[in-house]
Chain A
Amino acid sequence: MNFSDFVWFIIVIVKIIVIFSAVLTVVAYLTYAERRIGGFIQDRLGPNRVGPWGLLQPIADGLKFVFKEDFIPAKANKFLHILAPAIIMGTAIIALAVIPFSSSIQIGKWKINLIISDIDGGVLFLLAIGGISLYGLILGGWASNNKYSLLGALRSASQLLSYETTMALSVLSTVLLFGTLSLYEITELQTANPLKWGIVKAPLSFLLFLITGFAETNRVPFDLPEADSELVAGYHTEYSGMKFAMFFMAEYTHMVVVSSVITCLFFGGWQVPFFSQQYLINSIGQIPAFLLSVISFSIKTGFFLFFFIWVRWTLPRFRFDQLINLGWKVLLPIAVLNLLFTAGVVIYA
């Protein structure tokens, strides 16, 4: 390993640490935001006792989870019971690897940007990882040795399977428009002009992706796997302590991932509206431009995170047959037609 490789290695490690800790902090405070916003929407105040405005609440929650008994039911498959939350949390975090959080800066010969690995098939990678997280749900339900958990897991599996197809098709039509699978390139191609963003070019894809995004993250109105207001939490009924917290954090990490992907595909990612990155670098310097791109990305993603929470406290849940009907009979045909239409536009226009 020569010096140049070594520096690159250090850069990647630093990027991983920065992104990982930033996202986990966001996830911790999402649980706080969820309860606080939920409280406000219901004319309550929400948690406001731990620290100023209740800002230390996530730390208190974390401590509580750590000190709770980590219970494994009798005759449960111990190995799989432990593996399931690891899979679901692991896949949620790995998906962050291909998301471009910022524009790049040139330092010497190194081009640095906040994307852990800019692989060519970033979008494919995301869809594949999303598919693997399904194993976490099914194994969690199956390994608990509880028939209701297993039923809950099967219900989740059929939901995720129905909506993954539509999600892939809606992503595919944006990929057709931009002609690349790399999220960084898609972001660059959208430029700072909002009229060139994915939302304008493919509004229907955006709507489909948003709906399936809700389904993939198991959020209301598609939170049948969990159904926390009437059923006993489905596949993770038999989990307690930190293992339960892993499922919980995975849900919020998924929210961050889906919000980031929506931002990348449809809202110009880290592009600052109306000011192209080149213009910003020339006028205010490289590092402020870089920071501005991070802020731009955070604001856009933050809006969608808020939107997720906002919808959760507004809409009721789908019935199971309505959910499957919507998935297979409505969304899938629309997604296929949308894809065909986009393909036609790409070829003939």
Chain B
Amino acid sequence: MGFVEKLYIPAIINGLKITLKHLFGEKVTIEYPEEKRTYSPRFRGRHVLKVDENGIIKCVACELCEIACPSFAIKVVAKKSEIPGREREPEIYEIDYLRCIFCGLCVDACPCDALHMTSQHEWAITSRKGAIWTKEMLMERKKNG
């Protein structure tokens, strides 16, 4: 290092210039509750149980999602279906979001394309029970019936 460099003063001035540039530069903060970032369409958020065009649940209670789930968050109990052409449908379909790790293996496992994940990830619970979502809560709601 030469004498001027050893004084460190040019380096300090350079550093100050850089920080001054950033002081007036563009900010990257997203002010969360008012402003939200857009997520990828593949974002893995809360689940939804799909329904067909007649509004009937697609799930046939094969329990493959329950088997695929690494954290034992899904509980499926099947019953005999009253829908013509269907053998089984879920009586109970529950996901415990205190166990769920949002890995998406259940969606991969589903043979009927009945289980999807949405981009919704903002919800609050006040009890452990509140974390368990039932079939009715998870069912997809079609617009206008």
Contacts and interface: CB of A to CB of B under 8 A. Distances in A.
Nearest to B18: A314
Nearest to A316: B15
Interface size of A as a range: 10 to 19
A43 B15 contact: no
A45 B23 contact: no
B23 A44 contact: no
A80 B116 CA distance: 65
Contacts, number: 34
A45 B31 contact: yes
Interface stretch (A34-42, A137-145, A165-173): A34-42
B25 A43 contact: yes
Contacts of A45: 27, 29, 31
A313 interface: yes
Contacts of A50: none
B26 interface: yes
A202 to B, nearest CB: 17
Contacts of B20: 310
Contacts of B15: 314-315
Interface in B1-45: 12, 15-16, 18-20, 22-29, 31
B16 A41 contact: no
B13 to A, nearest CB: 10
A37 B16 contact: no
Interface size of B as a range: 10 to 19
A45 B23 CA distance: 10
Nearest to A45: B29
Nearest to B28: A43
Given A43-B28, A45-B29, A45-B31, A315 B12 contact: yes
B82 to A, nearest CB: 55
A315 B19 CA distance: 10
A37 B27 CA distance: 12
A311 B16 contact: yes
Among A37, A40, A44, find the residue whose CB has the most chain B CB atoms closer than 10 A: A40
B27 A43 contact: yes
A314 B26 contact: no
B16 A42 contact: no
Nearest to B24: A40
A339 to B, nearest CB: 20
A294 to B, nearest CB: 27
Contacts of A44: 27-29
Interface of B: 12, 15-16, 18-20, 22-29, 31
19 contacts: A40-B22, A40-B27, A41-B23, A43-B25, A43-B26, A43-B27, A43-B28, A43-B29, A44-B28, A44-B29, A45-B27, A45-B31, A310-B20, A313-B19, A314-B12, A314-B15, A314-B18, A314-B19, A315-B12
